[in-house]
Structure 1
């Protein structure tokens, strides 16, 4: 098991908006590695973004690399994680960005702040699991448990002592910084008999709203306020998370739990022994495939859109794209038995192109003008062959095209991108993460996107601002962003299995004319392939 500084989850990074971070990563593992600072904009610091073979070659065994970047106009909760193979299963941790000194939260100051990071636990080696899956072409083995801050909790066999606990005082407000670092599953989360107030997602403040259960995809973060009850001395409540699953494949159908324990006031400490008999209250979570809940929850997220925190949605659009996302197949190699559909190998694609990483980093190739043989700038702006994307009738052709194709954008271009789920091998939600940018989710819906009827309904006033968004199962989302960050930026499904199968692509953003619009030369210690 690979860990950082011997910790699982890894160390907590706490910084302030405007801070410059220097983080030295020394690879003492027996495999190559990179670290991605998920959600950090990396303005003019693309060399520090971290995805292997995209912005850097991996840090080889025994080597080191210093990630050097500044946090610009961001505050809130993010995460860091490995971005090489399945090392993210154990190599991850929270990033907490505090506001600049003297600038308060746009909500009441909490009594205490508590990071809660969800993960997955595998009894087998995750690297072996994905290696075998890619060789056989079938779906990888699912995890054996989910975890909260590294602990599986009392609902798994023999794990009662390995339970994350929060001790709270009655009548106080707590800020819970929720992070989904799981490899392959969206998660519902709730605390029995308590209401949560959502105040932030993906390190962007939102209009507060109350809800009993939240949904969080891999790579997403959500800050919630928890107001404790005034009259529950000594009571214990279960906080639980379990998957939201939409695909036809297998998944870990289990529940991870922690405990919310109310402390006894000093003048009631003599009652401690009797309170041990108080029952533990359990939350009611939505059904495993409750797609309607998922859609309603995501539609409630709205940017704060205040004078201090405006929603700068691009109104003028320079480039429009329509991308399909979904699963497909690759032919089985000769003299090999494959375990995918009808004897094929599972694949995944965007606009039917399954992206396989090159043997050298895309950003280096772009910076030095040596892209020939590494990538081609002809990624299609829309599907080459349109079809009924969400039809329930099975298609005869599930094959994808393999290639290293990218989209090239001029500096500062405004982009509108529609992401459409496909049902080729069954409709399924896909959490899409865009590196290097935040984007505004201006529209969403079920069925096939209608380019005539749907755009007039877009929200351009206060849409939620994200870095990771769930494309609805059997539906679509529309996003807008401004390409104001030169470099090469990966966009991919944050289900690790889908990314390994090729559900990823890259945007190349060209330099602008001014010095602060150009990507600097790479650092001297940038790893070599």
Structure 2
């Protein structure tokens, strides 16, 4: 088969928004983040602070469970993303496609910057809502109100209930918080529900989140909400920050709001009493899974240490430099990201022998510890874990140099806090008191001064990279990690992270500086794609370089798949609060589920509820890696109205054929007898071995009727039904009316004839997976594209020679019967090369795609990227990896608006 297309080459402006009106289906959110210095007045002083979008705190991100976040750069080819086409492989901290999958998080999380001290002003809340609206495990609040303790007034109505979402974005302090004359009920922490805990104050660690209910049940008046430091030792900021809780109605305002009595700054009992009462909800709807058989145990000491300083003029005792360590190792940041070094097998970046226990045993919590134990070594050591191993970590605080609380945070994973206590951990006695019934599920926990935390963090090491490996970063939240969720993100001097997001199989977006990425250099821009899964509630994002999260962070609020699908009584409102100071596949899926033809997945099958005689707009995306798909709904016809971000003439069909990477919008009218009907999908495969499984979801009518024992299953076209496939595709037509005109170039200035082939290449020892032990290749015009080591866009813009050739052929080197059943083996070979084709600005191009039967004849869904440096490739990922792609470069036009925009000053260079 062949296809041709016409292209008018000019500088486009455009974007594609993928979304849905279905209450249970994932949505796509877009955000513009610009990081810049902004003049602000605080505490009667004018200063310039680093902000996102000029806001302090930063934007609140509201998302729904399962949502997808796409970050695009419009009219900006530097951010397009094809590896070695518009940019080098996505280096940590530069341009990248980011994928975030939420799982069981719910409640309040937050995002913040993570370079130097910038998170002080660059931060915000990330609120994850439950699947069902207002399905809370506590009485329904009346409203949710973002609260930043700065100059803030919260207005409430007497008798109403409010859900407050609190984030501690303070850089270096555990905080007490209290509302005068009011009690609160804690219902969640760190993106997980908790058993209800009644208290008149809160203790919250840096990086931690607490969700609580407030009932406005006091005499109408004005009441202070206040917060100050909990400091177990050392110098601290003894100031108090306040906000005002003000009742509505007619009453005489007091001359000053009532001030609450906060616990004393050093009230360790108040701090630990609050933290020690946190418990997981641990019910049928929100079960927990504490690993009872632990395969790997660690004992980690947390210490402040000293290091000799040149001329003895540093700020520590004896003129030494302060260090901090885990098991006496103070981590040294490498200059190549550890994830990059691990994935690319670059030696010499890190060691893999981080100790299971400290090098010396001593009385860790003694008041006086010999100075010989105050020193610590430096190193870049990691610990490698087996996949799916279960891990227990005991954190032991020490009093070397200075005993202090350590709020510990684990990136990419939450954990169960099964125990804690004061003094030295006793491995024989203390495990007998572990809470294995309802331990809180957290990602940040404070190890108390003079204490240990068993917080023996049992967790399962189940994060995978594309090659089956994964990364977890464990560190103190002074500073910590972040959550990003944004569109057109312009990042200055910092990488970004998502705080509390698991991100299975995609750690490239995690963000810790020189761990999963290098710092994003000032002015660099990137295309970032974030896909949320089962997280729900409040999360957050922040920069992740040095201390920049002080001001570079904000909220990411994840809403449930179904509006208001909450696991507790309906709240009237939700309120984000941020406390801050300035510094591999075995099934196809529908909406993430294989369907109930797989018994183990029956309860998780995606169900779409519809009302009789209502019309629904369905937005479908084929994200399958290597297959065209048929889709059909039992007993229902559909009306196609759009494809690939453009309207189409309406046409009716009983099935859909959709290629990888394609989108189809269609209308569904719920006009059949109320019942349950399967929505089903399987492969269309014109040749070769294919996956013959069927994925299903359920179309479920509302109302009173007796549901069938099993939904009605549609009859899909046969796997190899080429007529069904092409008949559908041929009916697609542009709307082409006055309001939505088209502009087909009638005079073509440049014509190409491109053959698309699967080929072979000799393999050393003839032990590769292709016929005759050869290696599979794929080609366009018999050239299998070879990736350069410098981005083509960079090489073109900077006029770097030797990176690519500019003579990609207009036609194949040989003419033959391309679709013959048997093609001579002499035509099975292809050459390698890095060749592009340069086009004149505003030229019109016609491309004929000709499929061939060399080695294996198969469908090729072709996709064209833009702008200026155009990557054209097969959207079967297998063929892309084999080399079926090429590149167009468009020269600049004569006018300013026809010229390529320059790169950011620190565009990631290779």
Instruction: Please tell me the TM-score bracket, short chain as reference.
Output: 0.7 to 0.9
Q: Following TM superposition, by how much is the alpha carbon of 1:24 offset from its aligned partner in structure 2, in angstroms?
A: 6.1
Q: Does 1:253 align with 2:231?
A: no
- Residue in structure 2 matching 1:232, options 208, 219, 222: 219
Judged with a 3 Å threshold, the aligned counterparts in structure 2 of structure 1 residues 6 and 171 are, in CA distance, closer, same or farther, namely: same
Most deviating of 97-106 and 302-311:
97-106
Instruction: Work out the CA distance in 2 between the residues paired with 1:106 and 1:278.
Output: 39
Instruction: Work out the CA distance in 2 between the residues paired with 1:225 and 1:351.
Output: 40
* CA offset digits 1:381-416 (Å, max 9, x no partner): 001111111011232221110000011101110000
Q: Following TM superposition, by how much is the alpha carbon of 1:488 offset from its aligned partner in structure 2, in angstroms?
A: 2.0
Q: Does 1:491 align with 2:526?
A: no
Instruction: Work out the CA distance in 1 between the residues paired with 2:478 and 2:237.
Output: 13
Q: What RMSD in Å do the two structures reach over aligned CA positions?
A: 2.6
Aligned to 1:5: 53
- Cα contact 1:431–1:470 (8 A) shared by 2: yes
Instruction: Work out the CA distance in 1 between the residues paired with 2:362 and 2:296.
Output: 22
Judged with a 3 Å threshold, the aligned counterparts in structure 2 of structure 1 residues 277 and 219 are, in CA distance, closer, same or farther, namely: closer
Q: Does 1:403 align with 2:379?
A: yes
Instruction: Work out the CA distance in 2 between the residues paired with 1:282 and 1:340.
Output: 38
Instruction: Work out the CA distance in 2 between the residues paired with 1:363 and 1:21.
Output: 23
Judged with a 3 Å threshold, the aligned counterparts in structure 2 of structure 1 residues 421 and 17 are, in CA distance, closer, same or farther, namely: same
* CA offset digits 1:116-168 (Å, max 9, x no partner): 34xxxxxxxxxxxxxxxxxxxxxxxxxxxxxx1xx2xxxxxxxxxxx200000
Q: Following TM superposition, by how much is the alpha carbon of 1:507 offset from its aligned partner in structure 2, in angstroms?
A: 9.8
Aligned to 1:378: 353
Larger radius of gyration: 2
- Cα contact 2:302–2:327 (8 A) shared by 1: yes
Instruction: Work out the CA distance in 2 between the residues paired with 1:84 and 1:24.
Output: 24
- Cα contact 1:183–1:496 (8 A) shared by 2: yes
Q: Does 1:287 align with 2:287?
A: no
Instruction: Work out the CA distance in 1 between the residues paired with 2:132 and 2:91.
Output: 34
- Cα contact 1:25–1:66 (8 A) shared by 2: no
Aligned to 2:542: none
Aligned to 1:296: 273
Instruction: Work out the CA distance in 2 between the residues paired with 1:455 and 1:185.
Output: 29
Q: Does 1:466 align with 2:453?
A: no
- Residue in structure 1 matching 2:70, options 22, 30, 34: 22
Judged with a 3 Å threshold, the aligned counterparts in structure 2 of structure 1 residues 73 and 25 are, in CA distance, closer, same or farther, namely: farther
Query: Which residues of 2 match residues 73-112 of structure 1 at below 5 A?
Result: 73-101=104-132, 104-112=135-143
Judged with a 3 Å threshold, the aligned counterparts in structure 2 of structure 1 residues 284 and 84 are, in CA distance, closer, same or farther, namely: same
How many residue pairs match? The answer is 424
Q: Does 1:340 align with 2:302?
A: no
- Cα contact 1:24–1:67 (8 A) shared by 2: no
Instruction: Work out the CA distance in 2 between the residues paired with 1:506 and 1:442.
Output: 31
Judged with a 3 Å threshold, the aligned counterparts in structure 2 of structure 1 residues 7 and 320 are, in CA distance, closer, same or farther, namely: same
Q: Following TM superposition, by how much is the alpha carbon of 1:506 offset from its aligned partner in structure 2, in angstroms?
A: 11
What SS does the corresponding residue of 1:455 show, helix, strand or coil?
helix
Aligned to 2:166: 178
Instruction: Work out the CA distance in 2 between the residues paired with 1:278 and 1:103.
Output: 38
Q: Does 1:438 align with 2:414?
A: yes
Q: Following TM superposition, by how much is the alpha carbon of 1:78 offset from its aligned partner in structure 2, in angstroms?
A: 0.6
After the TM superposition, list the runs of 4 or more consecutive aligned residues in structure 1 that deviate by more than 4 angstroms.
23-26, 504-508, 524-529
Structure 2 gaps of 5+ residues are: 1-48, 75-89, 465-469, 481-511, 517-583, 587-624, 626-790, 794-906
Query: Which residues of 2 match residues 422-437 of structure 1 at below 5 A?
Result: 422-437=398-413
Structure having greater relative contact order (Cα 8 Å, sep ≥ 6)? 2
Q: Does 1:482 align with 2:460?
A: yes
Instruction: Work out the CA distance in 2 between the residues paired with 1:336 and 1:57.
Output: 36
What SS does the corresponding residue of 1:320 show, helix, strand or coil?
strand
Q: Following TM superposition, by how much is the alpha carbon of 1:102 offset from its aligned partner in structure 2, in angstroms?
A: 5.0
Judged with a 3 Å threshold, the aligned counterparts in structure 2 of structure 1 residues 492 and 405 are, in CA distance, closer, same or farther, namely: same
Q: Following TM superposition, by how much is the alpha carbon of 1:75 offset from its aligned partner in structure 2, in angstroms?
A: 2.2
Structure 1 gaps of 5+ residues are: 27-54, 118-147, 152-162, 498-503, 509-513
Instruction: Work out the CA distance in 2 between the residues paired with 1:227 and 1:410.
Output: 47
Aligned to 1:391: 366
Instruction: Work out the CA distance in 2 between the residues paired with 1:395 and 1:505.
Output: 34
